[in-house]
């Protein structure tokens, strides 16, 4: 389980395709602190550390993960938002994040607001549309954010300078693909309501 508060930004230094899988080698300041079998969120995708090298580590993304996320589009030097799973005695500074990407979205607009940035994202409407609520939580590339100005296929988020500087939001451009994870609490409520209406 994660909280959507990014610890550091890593850099992809190598990727190897093997069948439908992709092995990613990532340089990170926290590489030496990791251990094999540990779960780490990569742009909001929970992946298992498979190997620790000197200044890098490796993870593997399976075909389903590559299809549902932007990990398959990463190239060498791509910057990746990283977060280790929350310790049992930790605080929820963000919101409950599973590291299970629901779908991808496209950045359609970036506005510099003299001290913060307004990003707009669009996505193909699905049955998950009702999970986005005004001033509710959404995870973008692993970052816990508050969404607003919601339509049937888009929404906006405001990014403060600290988040902009300490995540890969500073690298995002219009047309880029990001990973979305909707609020798990909303998913459970939606599921319960569907079950009740189906009876």
Match 């607001």 to its residue by tokens.
113
Rounded Cα distance, 87 and 54, in Å: 25
Mean pLDDT for the chain? 92
* The pLDDT of residue 199 is above 60: no
Residue 156 near residue 119, CB atoms below 8 Å: yes
Averaged pLDDT, 175-183: 95
Averaged pLDDT, 17-34: 96
* The pLDDT of residue 94 is above 90: no
């Amino acid at each position: 389980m994660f909280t959507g508060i990014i610890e550091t930004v890593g850099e992809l230094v190598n990727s190897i395709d093997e069948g439908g899988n992709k092995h990613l080698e990532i340089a990170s300041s926290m590489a030496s602190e990791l251990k094999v079998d540990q779960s780490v969120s990569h742009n909001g995708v929970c992946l298992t550390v498979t190997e620790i090298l000197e200044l890098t580590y490796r993870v593997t993304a399976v075909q389903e993960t590559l299809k549902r996320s932007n990990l398959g589009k990463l190239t060498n030097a791509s910057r990746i938002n990283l977060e280790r799973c929350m310790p049992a005695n930790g605080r929820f500074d963000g919101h409950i994040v599973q590291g299970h990407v629901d779908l991808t979205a496209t950045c359609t607009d970036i506005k510099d607001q003299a001290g913060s940035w307004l990003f707009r994202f669009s996505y193909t409407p699905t049955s998950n549309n009702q999970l986005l609520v005004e001033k509710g939580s959404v995870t973008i590339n692993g970052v816990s954010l508050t969404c607003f100005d919601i339509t049937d296929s888009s929404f906006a988020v405001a990014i403060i300078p600290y988040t902009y500087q300490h995540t890969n939001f500073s690298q995002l451009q219009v047309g880029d693909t990001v990973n979305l994870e909707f609020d798990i609490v909303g998913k459970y409520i939606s599921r319960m309501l569907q079950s009740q209406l189906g009876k």
